[in-house]
Amino acid sequence: MLRILLPLLLCGCFRPTGLKNDDTGASSSGEVGSVGTSMPTTSSPTSSSSTSGESSLEITSNPTSSGPDSTSSSSSSSSSSSGTSGGSSSSSSPGTSSTGSVPAICGNGIQEEGEACDDGNDDNGDGCDEACQRDALFIFVTSSIYPPNFQNTQTADALCTLYAEQTTLLPQTEYVAWMSGVDSPVDRMGPNPALPYILPDHTPVAANLPDLIDAMLLAPINQDETGKVHTPEAASCMNAMDLAWTATTATGMISAVNCDLWVSNLSRDQGLVGRIHEVNGSWSALCNQNCALKARLYCVEKTP
Ligand SMILES: [Ca+2]
Ligand SMILES: [Ca+2]
Ligand SMILES: [Ca+2]
């Protein structure tokens, strides 16, 4: 059985465009693949580790780099000036420097004070509006398939966040796997009465959270984190590439068919899956999949 090496993701050995995902069914290829070197991201998913033999997922904490940014440079300059000058208050006072006098410019691609986001444009409906406020949250399906023994939903959530970090199409925020364990993904996503959920190419899926959990989507969640749209591989519940582990109904309710709370990858257990090409309730709850098989994950951006 192929092992899924999340350390590859974390060391930056993961390039979404290099993922193989065209294999079928329960075949053991097609997971996280490519090798690279640098991990540019700074946010760190929660640390967790799994120990059971095969297909272990290890998500280790990625140390948040406290950037040597404007704060350190300004403090060093102020300290140096205060060190050299013998006490003239104007030159050496550390409090004179700057904080926040420059007005933020929305659309310059830099998130500044007062901006919830800045995507470098003044377009609306793409997650960040012309006033640099969030106007949508993102939802996508992972480009790879996984065995269901994630160990818990938190690990799956962290995996989703990692996926988002690999692309410029998605905000570098926190994501939740649309997967129930002891809790529903709706509980982990946070309330969202106002913002639509959109695919990476900005296609709307639902107008807000209530609209997402009414068993009818505006568009299927068949787009992965790179924006690639996946087409059906087979009918119904026959192909892993069409399916995503959920253990969740299309109304956001917990299902107990969850591969023994996501620790089992044995054929005697089952997990509820949805089909990524569906817009009716089958998007989240289509059939029970053998836990020895693999499937994708749906990932939903957490309400900021
Ligand atoms: Ca800005
Ligand atoms: Ca925009
Ligand atoms: Ca709906």
Q: pLDDT by residue (tens digit) across 161-205?
A: 999 999 999 999 999 999 999 999 999 999 999 999 999 999 999
pLDDT digits (tens, 9 = 90+) for 226-248: 999 999 998 889 899 999 999 99
Ligand 3 midpoint to CA 102 (Å)? 42
Res 266 pLDDT > 60:
yes
In the prediction, which pLDDT does 100 show? 55
Q: How many angstroms does the Cα of residue 41 sit away from the middle of ligand 1? A: 20
Tell how far the Cα of 210 is from the centroid of ligand 3, in angstroms: 7
- Determine contact, residues 112/118, Cβ cutoff 8 Å: yes
Tell how far the Cα of 215 is from the centroid of ligand 3, in angstroms: 6
What the block records as the tokens of 168 is 């410029």
Report, as an integer, the average pLDDT of 2-30.
Answer: 39
Asked if pLDDT for residue 265 goes beyond 90, the answer is yes
Evaluate if residue 113 carries a pLDDT over 80: yes
State what percent of residues in the chain have pLDDT above 90.
Answer: 64
Q: Which helix H or strand E contains 302, and what residues bound it?
A: none
pLDDT tens track for 37-46: 333 333 333 3
**Is 44 or 252 the better-scoring residue by pLDDT?**
252
Q: What is the average pLDDT across 207-232?
A: 98
Going by C-alpha positions, the residue among 143, 145, 175, 148 that lies closest to residue 162 is 175
Q: Is the dihedral of CA 254, 255, 261, 264 positive or negative?
A: negative
Q: Which two tokens stand for residue 183?
A: 């809790």
Q: What is the mean pLDDT of residues 250-266?
A: 98
> 64 falls in which pLDDT band (50, 70, 90)?
very low
Please give the model's pTM, rounded to 2 decimal places.
0.71
Mean pLDDT of the region 25-54 = 36
Dihedral sign computed on CA atoms, order 94, 111, 224, 214: positive
Report yes or no: 192 and 137 within 8 Å, Cβ to Cβ: yes
Least-confidence region, from 40-44, 214-218, 275-279: 40-44
Ligand positioned closest to the Cα atom of 109:
1
- Mean pLDDT value of segment 119-142: 97
Taking a C-beta distance cutoff of 8 angstroms, is the pair 116, 131 a contact?
A: no
Residues whose beta carbons lie less than 5 angstroms from ion ligand 1: 108, 110, 112, 118
Instruction: Indicate if the pLDDT at residue 82 is higher than 80.
Output: no
Sign of CA dihedral 214, 220, 224, 230: positive
What's the mean per-residue pLDDT of the chain?
77
DSSP 141-200: E-SS-B-S--SSHHHHHHHHHHHHHT-TTS-SS-EEES--SSS-HHHHH---SSPPEE-T
Is the distance from CB of 211 to CB of 238 less than 8 angstroms? no
Residue 262 contacts by C-beta under 8 Å, 6 or more apart in sequence? 148, 149, 150, 151, 152, 153, 156, 179, 181, 245, 247, 271
**How are beta strands 137-141 and 197-198 bridged, if at all?**
parallel
Distances (CA, A) of 62 to 49, 145, 208: 13, 23, 32
Pull the structure tokens for residue 12.
Answer: 């930056």
> Angle CA(200)–CA(204)–CA(210) in degrees, nearest 5?
120
Between the CA of 195 and the centroid of ligand 1 the distance, in Å, is 21
* Residue 99 pLDDT: 54
Q: How far apart are CA 57 and CA 7, in angstroms?
A: 8
Query: 283 CA to middle of ligand 3, Å?
Result: 11
**Rounded-to-integer distance, Cα 181 and Cα 146, Å:** 16
